[in-house]
């Protein structure tokens, strides 16, 4: 055979082999999302996805003391205005799952060197089919899954930096991407990357790692400005963090809290816990597989990269362990409640991200070790087992969590009412019933946040407290807390809202009782009355409504400038490299 033809075929086979993980990641994303990809939008718990992408005050963080949905909701709106809300949700969720699978495979390849397609596919599967992804997806926290998806790509750059061929520019781009996901996404990435870079800077020449470390910190600060500045400048309720222990991991298996988190489970919201995890064989096998994966990675001949990965794994995992250790609860409370911004630590379960990624990459490396060391008899059994075991242990993730997630059509009258209120954007709106959670009949009774603030171009005042089985966690809005206090003292919800500057009441009728509806009807002039929505205009409010904080404008400016500068520099560098490679 002609040598050139042979090399051409070899390269073609290598290209096809490189695409196998991407194809598998795409297929499994389709299998997992399934009914979410249908007409409409999926609405569940924190994933209150507006069917009409609109730049509302809630989306931009106006009058939100701690804008947790900023700028992730803005990203969803931006994409939705281009392709439509339903397709935007499908593309974003699907893209996150594909990036998670392929990133885990890429990290495994970077750690292990040249590994085969089967080993990389095993990493693809392990990275996605785990309790961490399931539990976060079921409560609609897609931005935390996005943080998980960015972690393997960030750790890959850290490993390359340890070997002398990493890129500060790539880390800057990943930091921008994390910043677009909001506070949780960004802190998940920075809490792993920054400690690892510090360790590398101490162990190597400072000049080698300094550009990456300084760039990551500066870009991270710029991307955080959009939510950090308003949170620090606003007069938020200081009691909001008083229930820090309500958000620490909880056992989702018979292995206890520690045994549950080893395999990525143990979310604080027990409503997300899958019943299958109560089977000892299920949770036990998942824990053993995760432990073996971490051991495999740490036993590789990594050189300086091992210390970096230990730091990336150790610091976030220490945060998790600190939060679940009863003897250290006073220290944990001090960390969460003491320093400004300490509340971002409150949901400590998210810091399991590096553990999940490294253990998943290690599962792929175990498959590679089995298939490459001459264990032919064992490889024929163990390699397929390693590939399919994560799926077998997490079958409840398939098809939208076996139907827990699916796209629905938001009623036309609800959408029309929100559009009409948005067209007359003056005055603040009070939302009733006085709770932020709903069980919309048209959403098959699923628990979800109310859609109204994300659909209405008005400042919407709603109860931002969080009801848990262990009690109610205070919200962060001072105005909402005042309304709750007045209601507790005997005022009607309508009067309590009027006294804090609201001039319009929106009642989501399918979530309210007849008594509440009668009170709303008597409170003012009727503006809208449909099957799902009742809107009345009150008498002039007793107080002036909310005004946009200066910190919101400054925060958005800083974050947008950061993203534009990093994106612009990356584009210029890419163009320069493409020109350098072009033939003369």
Q: Are residues 258 and 378 in the same domain?
A: yes
Residue 486 placed within a domain: yes
What pLDDT is attached to residue 467? Answer: 82
In a domain, 459, yes or no: yes
Same domain, yes or no: 270 and 332:
yes
Of the chain, the percentage scoring pLDDT greater than 90 comes to: 75
Spatial contact of 62 and 477, defined as CB atoms under 8 Å apart? no
Residue 394 sits in the same domain as residue 424 = no
Compute the distance between CA of residue 205 and CA of residue 212 in angstroms, rounded to an integer. Answer: 13
Q: Which pLDDT band holds residue 127 (cuts at 50, 70, 90)?
A: very high
- Burial letters 134-167, b for 16+ CB under 10 A, else e: bbbbbbbbbbbbbbbbbbbbbbbbbbbbbeeebb
Of the three residues 378, 403, 428, the one that is the final residue of a domain is 403
Q: Are residues 335 and 371 in the same domain?
A: yes
In a domain, 220, yes or no: yes
- 331 in any annotated domain: yes
| CB contact at 8 A, 308 and 159 | yes
pLDDT of residue 505: 96
Cα 473–Cα 475–Cα 481 angle in degrees, nearest 5: 115
**What does the alpha-carbon distance between residue 503 and residue 505 come to, in Å, rounded to a whole number?**
7
Q: How far apart are CA 356 and CA 290, in angstroms?
A: 8
In the chain, the number of structural domains is 2
pLDDT digits (tens, 9 = 90+) for 314-369: 999 999 999 999 999 999 999 998 888 888 999 999 999 999 999 999 999 999 99
Q: Are 22 and 121 in contact (CB under 8 A)?
A: no
Q: 80 Cβ partners below 8 Å, 6+ apart? A: 50, 53, 88, 89
Spatial distance between the Cα atoms of 421 and 212, rounded to a whole number of angstroms:
47
Q: How far is CA 337 from CA 156, 235, 240, 272, in A?
A: 34, 15, 9, 26
Task: Decide: 358 and 112 in contact? Cβ < 8 Å.
Answer: no
Both 153 and 273 in a single domain?
A: yes
Residues 263 and 142 in one domain: yes
148 pLDDT band, cuts 50/70/90, is: very high
Is there a single domain that holds both residue 125 and residue 173? yes
What value does the CA radius of gyration of the chain take, rounded to a whole number of Å? 25
- Residue 301 shares a structural domain with residue 190: yes
Last residue of a domain, which of 510, 537, 564? 537
Does the structure show a pLDDT above 70 at 547?
A: no
- pLDDT tens digits for 418-458? 999 999 867 899 999 999 999 999 999 999 999 999 999 99
The whole-number average pLDDT for the span 199-209 is: 80
Name the domain boundary from 403, 435, 465: 403
DSSP string, 108-158: HHHHHSS--HHHHHHHHHHHHSSHHHHHHHHTT-HHHHHHHHHHHHHHHHH
Q: Quick one: 363 and 452 in the same domain?
A: no
Q: What is the pLDDT of residues 498-529, one digit of tens each?
A: 999 899 999 999 877 666 888 899 988 999 99
Nearest to 464 by CA among 68, 152, 110, 92: 68
Predicted TM-score (pTM) above 0.85: yes
Tell whether 104 is covered by a domain.
yes
| In-domain check, residue 555 | no
Q: By the 8 A CB rule, do 200 and 171 touch?
A: no
Angle at 106 (CA atoms; ends 102, 108), nearest 5 degrees: 115
Are residues 457 and 525 both part of a single domain?
yes
Instruction: Give me the pLDDT at residue 237, please.
Output: 42
Instruction: Look at the alpha carbons of 426, 432, 437, 443 in this order and tell me if their dihedral is positive or negative.
Output: negative
Q: Is 310 domain-assigned?
A: yes
Are 349 and 463 contained in the same domain?
Answer: no
Decide: helix, strand or coil at residue 43.
strand
Residue 364 lies in a domain: yes
Residues 357 and 479 in one domain: no
Which domain range does residue 512 map to? 412-537
Query: Mapping DSSP to helix (H, G, I), strand (E, B) and coil, where does residue 530 land?
Result: coil
């Amino acid at each position: 055979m002609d040598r050139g033809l042979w090399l051409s075929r070899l390269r073609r086979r290598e290209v096809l082999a490189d695409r196998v993980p991407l194809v598998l990641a795409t297929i499994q994303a389709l299998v997992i999302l399934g009914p979410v990809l249908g007409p409409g939008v999926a609405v569940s718990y924190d994933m209150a996805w507006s069917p009409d992408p609109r730049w509302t005050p809630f989306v931009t963080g106006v009058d939100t003391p701690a804008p947790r949905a900023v700028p992730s909701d803005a990203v969803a709106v931006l994409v939705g205005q281009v392709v439509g809300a339903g397709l935007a949700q499908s593309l974003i969720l699907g893209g996150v799952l594909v990036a998670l699978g392929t990133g885990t495979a890429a990290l495994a390849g970077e750690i292990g060197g040249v590994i085969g397609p089967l080993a990389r596919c095993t990493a693809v599967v392990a990275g996605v089919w785990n309790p961490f992804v399931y539990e976060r997806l079921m409560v609609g926290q897609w931005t935390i899954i996005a943080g998980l998806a960015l972690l393997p790509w960030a750790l890959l750059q850290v490993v390359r930096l340890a070997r002398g061929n990493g890129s500060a520019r790539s880390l800057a781009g990943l930091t921008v991407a994390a910043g677009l996901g909001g506070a949780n996404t960004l802190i998940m990435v920075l809490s792993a990357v920054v400690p690892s870079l510090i360790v590398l800077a101490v162990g190597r020449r400072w000049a080698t790692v300094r550009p990456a470390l300084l760039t990551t910190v500066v870009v991270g600060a710029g991307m955080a400005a959009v939510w950090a500045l308003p949170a620090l400048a606003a007069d938020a309720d200081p009691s909001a963090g008083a229930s820090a222990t309500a958000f620490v991991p909880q056992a989702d298996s018979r292995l206890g809290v520690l045994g549950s988190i080893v395999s990525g489970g143990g979310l604080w919201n027990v409503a997300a816990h899958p019943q299958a995890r109560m089977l000892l064989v299920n949770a036990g096998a998942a824990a053993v597989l995760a432990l073996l994966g971490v051991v495999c990675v740490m036993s590789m001949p990594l050189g300086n990269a091992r210390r970096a990965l230990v730091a990336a794994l150790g610091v976030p995992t220490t945060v998790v362990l600190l939060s679940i250790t009863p003897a250290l609860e006073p220290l944990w409370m001090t960390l969460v409640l003491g320093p400004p911004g300490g509340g971002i630590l409150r949901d400590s379960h998210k810091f399991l991200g590096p553990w999940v990624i490294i253990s998943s990459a290690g599962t792929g490396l175990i498959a590679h070790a089995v298939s490459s060391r001459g264990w032919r008899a064992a490889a024929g059994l163990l390699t397929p087992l390693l590939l399919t075991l994560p799926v077998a242990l997490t079958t409840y993730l398939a098809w939208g969590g076996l139907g827990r997630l699916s796209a629905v059509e938001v009623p036309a009258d609800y959408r029309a009412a929100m559009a009409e209120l948005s067209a007359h954007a003056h005055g603040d709106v009070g939302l009733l019933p006085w709770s932020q959670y709903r069980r919309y009949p048209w959403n098959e009774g699923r628990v979800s946040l109310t859609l109204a603030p994300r659909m209405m171009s008005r400042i919407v005042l709603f109860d931002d407290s969080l009801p848990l089985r262990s009690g109610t966690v205070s919200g962060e809005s001072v105005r909402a807390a005042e309304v709750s206090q007045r209601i507790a003292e005997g005022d009607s919800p309508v009067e309590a809202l009027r006294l804090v500057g609201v001039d319009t009441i929106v009642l989501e009728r399918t979530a309210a009782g007849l008594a509440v509806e009668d009170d709303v009807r008597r409170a003012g002039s009727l503006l809208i009355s449909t099957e799902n929505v009742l809107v009345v205009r009150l008498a002039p409010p007793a107080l002036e409504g909310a005004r946009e904080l200066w910190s919101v404008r400054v925060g958005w400016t800083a974050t947008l400038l950061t993203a534009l500068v990093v994106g612009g520099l990356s584009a210029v560098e890419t163009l320069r490299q493409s020109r350098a490679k072009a033939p003369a």
